[in-house]
Structure 1
Amino acid sequence: MLTREAAAKYIGIDVKTFDKVFRSDQDFKRIKIGDHSERFTKNSINEFINLKEKNLKQI
């Protein structure tokens, strides 16, 4: 499980961009830990990217 910093690094983007693009989207799966912490899996990141990529191709 990745922190938001590690998830952003895995994707190759800035943490602020990760927050804006990934964390703000309801389709992005996350694991809540307590009231203020979240963790992300590489699988959920890859699935989200694939989902959004498919939606872009339909436009």
Structure 2
Amino acid sequence: ALEATAKLSRAVYVERGTMAGSVSMKLADKKDDKAPYFAIVLVAGWSGRPGAVGAQA
């Protein structure tokens, strides 16, 4: 879905973000699809939201 919407380049994978041994990387650089329970993918921006700079009214 991120590739299809051209958002993969903005996606960041975070594993155990607030714990010892945390890991973060570009999602595109992740070599496998394994993740622990405390993992999340963050995608920066919501350019289409109302009121955003450059958003169409």
Higher helix fraction (1 or 2) = 1
TM-score by length of structure 1 reads: 0.27
Higher strand fraction (1 or 2) = 2
Larger Rg: 2
Higher RCO by CA contacts (8 Å cutoff, separation 6 or greater)? 1
